[in-house]
Structures are given as C-alpha cells and as structure tokens.
Structure 1
Amino acid sequence: MIELTGVSVTYPDADRPVLRGVDLTVDEGELCLVIGPTGSGKSTLLGAVTGLVPHFTGGLLEGRVRVAGRDTADHPPRELADVVGVVGQDPLAGFVTDTVEEELAYTMEQLAVPPEAMRARVEEVLDVLGLADLRHRPLADLSGGQQQRVAIGAALTAHPRVLVLDEPTSSLDPVGAEDVLAALTRLVHDLGITVLVVEHRLERVLPYADSLVHVGGEGGVVHGAPADVLPLVHLVPPVVELGRLAGWSPVPLSVRDARRRATALRPRLAPVAGVPAVPERPGAPRDGGLAARGVTVRYGDLLAVRGVDVDAPAGVVTGLMGRNGSGKSSLLWALAGARKRAGGSVAAGPDGADPATRSPAAARRLVALVPQTPTDLLYLDTVGAELARADRDAAEGGRPAREVLDAILPGLADDAHPRDLSAGQQLALVLAVQLSAGPAVLLLDEPTRGLDYRAKAALSRVLRDLAAQGRAVVLATHDVEFAATTCDRVVVLAEGDVVAQGPAQDVLTASPSFAPQVAKVLAPSRYLTVAQVRAELGDDAAPDPAAADRGSSWR
C-alpha cells in the first residue's frame, strides 16, 4: 500500500539529507507507528507519503514513493486526496465549517462526489466513529477527543485507502485518547485501511501497532514488528523500560502483558515506593508560592471554573489534571491574572499579592505563564531579539535571559529564527523569556506537546530544579507519565470543580484513568515510575540500557 524505494530528501540549504536511501513497505490494513527523536525526520517521512514533500515543502526528493499504486512524483497532494487522508495535531485548526455533519461533507464537496453518495458516506462515517449523536453539534462545543474523531471522519468520507496522522492524541486526556485509538483500530480491522501514525506518547499507541518504523536521525529507518524493533530503541515507554529492568524477554508491549509477567516481581517490592509525600528540599524557602480561594471563571452562561480553592506551595511541583474541558487552562489563566475572574482571590509570592491587580510587568514578576502553544509568545525574527526584549521587559531584579537559556539549553544560536526551532527548543526559549523576570510562580499549560521522552526528561529536571530554588511550579497536563515523574502534588478537576488533590503518589495510584503504566502493572503496590522500582531493587535490577541516551537534549 505504501512503498518507498531508495528515498532521500534534502531540504534547501541543508548540509545533509533528512532521509537517506530509505526502503520501506507498509502493507494494506496495517497500523504502522512511526517513532524517533524530535527532529529525526518523522514529519518528512509523512510528508513524502502524502506528497507534501517536495511539492509543498520544496527540496530534493530522490528515489520513488508510491501510495496505492500512485507515484507521488507524478501526483501532487490534490491528486492523492482520494487515496490519502491526512489528520493533523490540532483538529480545530483544520475545520472549515461549523457543525459535525457539514465538516464530514466538506471533503466530498471538494472532490465533486454526487449528493446521493455524499449522504450515504456521511451516515457510514457517523456509525463507524460513533458520532451519530453529535451530527448537529457545533464543532467548537465538542471535547478534544470528539473533535479528533470528527477530523478523522472528514478524511474518511473521501474513502481513502491510507490514513496519515500526526500526533493524534497529543492534546487529549487519557479517556479521549483511548476513544480515538479504538476508532483507528476499527478502521484497520473492519475496513482494511492502512494507518500511518506519528506519536511521541508511545505508551498510548504501542499496544495497537502492527509494526514500527524507527527514524533514527541519521537518515535511515528501521521497520519491523514491535518486538523486533524495540530492542534497537533507547527511548521507550515505561512498560518496556520496566520489562528491561525485570529482565523479561521479549519485553511487554502493553500493561496487560506486563501484569501477567509481574507476578514474580511484585513480592520483591515494598507496598509503597520510598518517596516523601512532599519533598524536603534543603535551601528551598517555604514562604511564598500561590494560594487561590473561590476562583470562578465564566464565559457567558458557561461556568468554566466553579469557586476553586488551590494551593501551590513554594518548592513544590503541582500537577493540574482532568479531562479535556474540565477547566484547567481557564484556571491557569485566571491564576496568572491574564483572564478576568468572576469571583475569588489569588495571593502569590512572599507578599501575597494578586497578579490581576498589578501592571503586566509587575504581574510577570509574580506569576509567569507558558501557554499551550509556546510560539504564541514568540513574535520576533531571531532568538537574540527575543532574549533582548525579555531583558528589557524584566527591568530590575531579573536575570539575563541568555543566561537562563544557556542553563536550560546551551548553544542555541542568537541568529536562529524561533519558528525554525524544534518544539523542545521553542519551549526552552519561552521558559527563558518568562523566567528572566524571576517570577515566584511558574505556570505551564500542556508543556510536553511535541516532546519526545528525552526532551520531557530534560524538562522534568528543569522544573524540579526550579522548585528546589524555592519557586512554586504548576503544570496542567494530560501526560500521566510526565506527571508521575515530575509532580509532587496533583489536583484533579472535573467540570470546573476540584474532585481530588493530594500527594501525587496517592492521587495517581487511586485513579484508573490517570494512573501511569507502572502503577497499573504493579498495583496494589503504589509505585509510579521505573526509577522508583529500580531504587527498590538496588543491585538486583538489570542494567539500564537507556541511561547513556537520556542526556539533556531538547532537540
């Protein structure tokens, strides 16, 4: 169904090919997961399959790419639209109509499908993806998982034989992600559609994958069954890392497989991992932080946050979790004073000031916010210009932004354009910009979108170091594995209310939806991470093959 023969891709002004001599065949009715570090060439591989490379991106493509029998050299993307469906990371950004039914019909209108066939196809897709009850709903009112299923449905109405998805679960809560993956599995099993998907959260997709393509960053790729490819890969999900630690061969690919094999491991572990509920960090002052009381946020008739009380102590990393639409982002913006509150108060920093009552510059010295899309804060032409602007805005009492950036990610050139940076580099730059003002509280909204495991480990170290310096860190995230490794406390929201809060070990192990893979495998023992298991086993643990590869790279 997808065939690449001797494919090399070189972009203009690049000193080497992104892909080099790639031979790859993906069969019909296969769910193929594309993995690899950030910047390794995964998006280029997808672009070659969809025809965007080189017709849209430019550059030189050597070799042959054939999709459903069509050579992409002779067929630009518009001539592949009936055989290749494409779904991006942000479905809402790609919608062009107002309601579910209209969006499903739009693609067919562009392909001049007869009206009688359009109606039949819309009904088929509504049934296959479980969208029938939503047909007349406004797209903006849907949850993230529902929007993603509509985006998939809009691609399916063209009856493509190949579906290409770029991080389809990156912005979804665990339940929404499972709904989308279940829908993709039905397409593969029931309709024989070939699905090619890139996803950094391997723990979500790996159990569903028929094959893996590993793009290593040196131009070549490795393709095969998951059990054959994973031994060659260092950056793996926790369930695979746990299997390596326990010496299981082959390593498990799902929580179910791991639980079956963990019967001998559980008796070797204490009931609770040896970590304090709230860490004692020498030198981290306990005054300051953030305290919110009765915070209410309203959008017209919609009550997004309902009288919430939240504490984020200094020296502690607090995770904010919940389903899509539960009010996490609204709460963060209200805490930062950047969104008007309908009620409640916020006290931040050693003096307990409310950032909503201060000037923008003074508020930024109290509470700094990194939004879901870091590039929303980047609008100049070079990294150096962004850093210089941050220094001017920080005024007295700040720290040079270049110094902060070099502490997070050394070597990022001043003349680099912010839009040309990887997701991890952009996040590092925005962190440096915001931290240059020396805020007492740092808020982050979904900071791990687009980051691979190595970049997330680097971010985790940065946030924990900030907490050790005495700052309060609050991050809203759907990434349960990142929360497990980074957060000391967790607050769970539902429909704008706090439904659970406490030490991360207590909250995460008590929730089937938000429990990390290690907690699910080792329950009822209350472990969250492979590192906790390794520390408990001590000398009995197998060597860590990924230790040398973790590094501190955000690239």
Structure 2
Amino acid sequence: MAPLETMGSIEIENLHFTYPSRNTPTLRGIDARVNPEAFILLTGPTGCGKSTLLRTLNGLIPHASGGKLSGNVRVNGASVAEQPIAVTCQQVGLLFQNPEEQLFCIIVEDEIAFGLENLGLPSHEIDRRIDAALTQVGLAGFRNRQIASLSSGQKQRVALACVCAMQPQILLLDEPTSYLDPQATHDILEIIRDLNRKLGITVVVAGHQVNEIAPLCSQVWLMNDGKLVSDLPIDQAFTDLTPYSQLGVQVPELAQVAEQLGYSERPLTLDHAVRLFANPIQDSRQLQLHWAEIPDRLVGTSSGEDGLAAATPVPTQTTPANPNDILADVQNLSFRYPQTSADVLKNISFQIKRGEVVAIMGANGSGKTTLLLHLIALLRPSAGQVLIKDQDTRRCKSRHLAGQVGIVFQNPDLLLQAATVSEEVAFGPKNFRLSRQEVEERLKEILLMFDLEILKAEAPYALSRGQRQRTAVAASFSLYPDLLLLDEPTTGQDYYHLQQLMQMLEDNMKIQNKTVIFCTHDAHLTLEYASRVLLLHHGELIFDGTPDAAFANPERLEQASLVLPLTMQLQGLQNDKTPSSHENHPPRDR
C-alpha cells in the first residue's frame, strides 16, 4: 500500500520511448511530476506524443506495446514498468478518444461490470458500484440500455462510468470530447471536474480544445516532438502565448483577445473577461476578426521556414466554372434504419452547387453523418430521392460515384488499409489506371499539400489520430473529386494543421470549381470557411442559409446544441454592459 501522501501522484524521470516499428523515439527525455488532486491539460501539435505519454502512465506502454522504454514512471510511488499492469490499471484509469474502442458488451451494466468482475468483487459490491458510476456520469436508469442505441455523448459517459467504477486515484483522458457536440462536451467536462474537485481524483486531459478545458485546470503541459517544453501552473501558463503560436497550438480565445488588446492578465472565463475589459469594446471587428489573423501568423511556424501554405501546389482548373451546376439534389429525403421505428432523416430537401463550401451542423444524433452517407450512395432513401450529378442513388452503386465523390469518415481508420502513407495516397490514382508517371506526380503533389512528405514511409496505423485523419483526407482528395465529404475534420487536429487543411481545400476547390461539405460542431471553422450552413435537429432541416444568419438566432443555436464563439459572446455582453452589472458576481468555473 502506497503512503497516503503519494496516492494520486505521478513522477516521470528522463522518460524515453520508441515504438517497435519506429527508428526514432516518440518520447524524448520527459521529466515531470503530478501532485495528488491536480488537474492537468496536456496539449501540443498533432503527433507530438501526447497519447503515447498517457499510455506510459497506466502501463499500456511498455507492457502491451513492446518497444524500447528507458527512464522511469512511478504511480503512487511504485514503478509502472516493474509492477503488473493489472495493479496499475486499478490505480490509473484511461479513457480513449473514441469510446467505441473500449466498449464491447451489448448492455450497459455488463460493460461496467466487466472490469469489476475481473477484480473478483462480490456481486453486491458490483451492483453498488454500477449504480454509483452511472449516477456519477448522469446515466442513472441506463443500466439495461443497449449500448448500440446510445448517442456518441452517452457512449462516452458509459466508457467514463466503466473507469469510475474501478475507483482509480488517477484519471487519464485522451481527447475525451472530440466526438461530442458543445452541450455534450460541457456535460462530460463538468463530470470530470466534479470527479477532481469532489472526490480528489487526479486528472490529466490530453486535448486541443483548450477553451473548454483550460478553465478547469491547475496546470498546463505543452509538448512538442516528444519533449515537454513547458510545465506551468494555470495562472502562468498563458502569460506568454508565443510558444503556442510557434507550434500551431490553440490557446484560450479570451486570453488571446486580452493580449491583442494590451492586457497583462489572461482571462479564461467570460466572467473574468467582462470584469477585465472595463470599457465596452465599441469596434466589434476587434473581437470578431481576431481569429482571421491567426493563420497568417502561423504560416512558417510548423512546416519549415516558409510554411505549408507557401509550399502547397495548386492543381490547374479542370472544370469550367458554372455556378449553376447542381452536384447534389436532395428531394423530400426521409430515412429509417432497418429494424427501427423512427425516421433518422425527415423530409429533407436542398441542392448543392459547384464551388460551395457547406457546413452541416447539429447535435450528436441529429442525422448529420446519415445525411452525408446518402450523398455518396452508401445509404439509400426510405422515401424521396437523392441525385448526385443527375444519378439517382437508389439505382446506382457507390462505386459508380468513385472519383466524383470522395468521403472521409469521422473515424479515419475505416478508410486506411495500405502498408504505408504513400501507398494509401496512391491507391485511388492507381485503381483509376493513371500512368506510373501520373501516379508519381500526383503522389508527390498530394503528400506536399497535406504535409505528409516526412511520413510517407510510415504505416498509417503507427501515426497519431490527427495524422491518420490527414492521410485519409489526402487519399480521398487524390482523385480531385467534384464533391468532397468530410465528417468531423477537426478530430485530432491541432490548430495549425486544421487551418492549413481547410485553407488548402478551400483554395483548391475554388480554383477547380469543386465543392466541399463538412459535418462539424466547430463554430469557428464554420464562420471562417463555410459559405452556407445546414442545421439539423432530430433529423429535420431547420435552417439553410449563410453562417452569419445561422449564428444570429440564439434559439436556433440552442435547438442545434451549438454555442457562439467566446469572442462573440463577449461582444454581446460588452454591448449590454452597465457599470454595475457584473460587480458582485464572482467568477464561475465555466
């Protein structure tokens, strides 16, 4: 038994780790300490080693991974490498980015009971812990529900309940909200906050969503290239934003506004920002356009001296510009999955023209992915019709649309099948029987476009989640489809690569007069890149128009489980502000 003062503590000493398939280390000389009851945000560029570091903290590395590990990780005073992984896993819980990767039972109670049964606990204690864990995550009454019937947010809660039931002293979370809409994200983070503050569980969260996570934290770790480059308490972590911008890592939006307006303090919550900015900000552009300045500052920071954008080749225009060309015509579309009693899509109609960049937004379970799958004929309407370039999807197969329509799923692993990144990107052009020279030229062009040249010989499954996502997008883009469909392109992406990805797609699609449709919960992404927004609510199309109009209606946003960017919320509060309106209100945690 570890001494009481070490329970919930982690010590990392000169930690190095190299995967079996790699010649270079993923972790390079990390030294850090996690005190009991700490709440740490672990952030950094895509592929910097965040997920790998988390897996060393609960023993999956090296016990289940192989590879070469040196240095030491001690949890509660005991060496993780020396003690059995079964012991460490009782002390340290790990929640994966994708809940599907750790849910394999049919019924919720069976899923939670699995780990408890492996501990050999008596049945009455298992029952007690199942009920307690479900209550903790807000799923009381879900004990006998089928996991397949749950939304993404509910599945993530079940996965968290499985971890909570084991009663760990330390909770590790790898991008726990990347699949979730803003409301579900808020709910999950509130649960994690309560586990930390009320139960004293030590928390380490790896993620890019710093706006949501930073206000809950006591400490911030910044990683790059396998090294811990910054380890600071939360009140000092964002004093200097330069290290984050140099690495293309997102910083708290309100802290960035404060820096731009000349304040030394770095607010993380709206209440703090309202109290800090004593004078109403009259020029709304000063707040609302600050995002647009970031990509320019990031060019040249993460991909060589000139940056990715400067090096990106642009294909020549292949399709005559005709904005009246209709690529997709959806007419009275309704859809119901087999053996279910409710329509997932309900009487939806819209048209998609060449050259548009369209965002599909809505809560988890609103039908976004289902709609996207109809646009590539992977699903067929229960009623109504979908025409893709005048082809009725009820009568054509998805392979007939290959080369005309490309898709990237939310989980990129559903698309990746080749041995190397180069083979993955070249797969489409080869199967379309381009000449060897054309394939080689296309491959070189695409690898450069998507910042994958350095990874071309790597196995896709050895890459980080964000790198796999870029590889999947590159593979779909390699045929230059008329219509490119992206399901949650932000998943696992750092800010730099997300901005560069969307800018590159926007530029190339405009030049070639092609169309992009992407599903997202990210308001910034939509406001910056989309020319049009489709809002879904319970399978119904409740809005079809410009992003500005979509975000101008608070009731509509609430209906779609969306939130305004913090800068726009702040602008509204500042415009309504009176000298006494916030004087007596203490800062909230969120």
TM-score bucket of the superposed structures, by smaller chain: 0.7 to 0.9
Aligned 8 A contact 1:361 1:393 in 2: no
Shift of 1:272: 11
Distance 1:250 1:435 in 2: 43
Give me the whole-angstrom Cα distance separating, in 2, the residues matched to 1:515 and 1:436. Answer: 34
1:25-424 equivalent positions in 2, closer than 5 A: 25-217=33-225, 219-230=227-238, 231=240, 232-234=243-245, 235=249, 236-262=251-277, 264=279, 266-269=281-284, 285-288=322-325, 289-300=327-338, 301-349=341-389, 352-358=390-396, 360-395=398-433, 401-402=442-443, 403-409=445-451, 411-412=453-454, 414-424=456-466
For 1:165, what is the secondary structure of its paired residue? strand
Q: Which of 439, 445, 450 is 2:492 aligned to? A: 450
Per-residue displacement from partner, 1:291-322 (whole Å, max 9, x unpaired)? 31211221132311111113333222111111
* In structure 2, distance between residues paired with 1:31 and 1:491: 37
Equivalent pair of 2:452/2:471 in contact (CA under 8 Å)? no
1:496 is aligned to 539
Change (3 A) 1:498 1:376: same
Q: State the partner residue of 2:29.
A: 21
Deviations 1:123-167 (A, max 9, x none): 222222222122221111122222111111111111110111111
Alignment of structure 1 residues 453-464 onto 2, 5 Å: 453-464=495-506
**Is 1:348–1:366's contact at 8 Å kept on the other side of the alignment?**
no
| Matching residue's letter, 1:2 | I
Give the deviation of 1:396 after TM superposition.
7.5
Residue 438 of structure 1 corresponds to 480
Is 112-121 or 189-198 further displaced after alignment? 112-121
Deviation at 1:28, TM superposition (A): 1.6
In 2, Cα distance between the equivalents of 1:412 and 1:22? 24
Structure 1 residue matching 2:282: 3-state secondary structure: helix
The match for 2:314 is none
Does structure 2 retain, via aligned residues, the 8 Å contact 1:355–1:363? no
Paired residues of 2:274 and 2:573 also in contact (CA < 8 A): no
Please identify, of 508-517 and 137-146, the stretch whose mean Cα deviation from structure 2 is larger. Answer: 508-517
Q: Name the CA distance, whole Å, in 2 between partners of 1:270 and 1:390.
A: 44
Tell me: CA distance 1:413–1:249, structure 2 relative to 1, closer, same or farther (3 Å).
Answer: closer
The Cα offsets for residues 446-484 of structure 1, whole Å up to 9 and x where unpaired, read as: 111111111111111122114412212110112233223
Q: AA paired with 2:324? A: D
Give yes or no for contact 2:15–2:30 (8 Å, CA) kept in 1. yes
CA-CA distance at 1:257 after TM superposition = 2.5
Q: 1:354 to 1:518 in 2, by over 3 A?
A: farther
Question: How many angstroms apart in 2 are the aligned matches of 1:46 and 1:437?
Answer: 37
Indicate which of 557, 568, 580 corresponds to 1:519: 568
CA distance in 1, matches of 2:531, 2:189: 30
Deviation of the 1:13 alpha carbon: 6.7
The residue matched to 1:321 in structure 2 has which SS? strand
Q: 1:424 to 1:155 in 2, by over 3 A?
A: closer
1:187-221 deviations in whole A, cap 9, x for unaligned? 11111111111112212211111211111225234
- Matching residue's letter, 2:375: L
Does the CA-based 8 Å contact 1:312-1:474 persist in structure 2? no
Q: 1 CA distance for matches of 2:178 and 2:42?
A: 14
> Are 1:6 and 2:14 matched, yes or no?
yes
**Cα separation, 1, equivalents of 2:194 and 2:288:** 39
8 Å Cα contact 2:426-2:475 kept in structure 1: no
Q: Structure 1 residues 273 and 132, CA, compared in 2 at 3 Å: closer, same or farther?
A: closer
SS in 2 for 1:134: coil
- 1:1-27 Cα offsets, whole Å, 9 max, x none, are 111123233444755543333221212
* Secondary structure of the corresponding residue to residue 336 of structure 1: coil
Distance 1:307 1:314 in 2: 23
Q: 1:218 to 1:108 in 2, by over 3 A?
A: closer
C-alpha displacement of 1:112: 0.7
- Segments of structure 2 that go 5 or more residues without pairing to the other structure are 1-8, 291-319, 576-590
Question: Paired residues, what number?
Answer: 517
2:307 aligned partner: none
> Where in structure 1 are there 5+ consecutive unaligned residues?
276-282, 527-555
Q: Indicate how the Cα distance of structure 1 residues 242 and 357 shifts in structure 2: closer, same or farther if over 3 A, else same.
A: farther
Q: What CA distance in whole angstroms lies between the structure 2 residues aligned with 1:499 and 1:486?
A: 21
CA RMSD of aligned residues (A): 2.7
Is 1:465 paired with 2:480? no
Q: Secondary structure at the match of 1:133?
A: coil
Normalised to the residue count of structure 2, the TM-score between the two structures is: 0.81
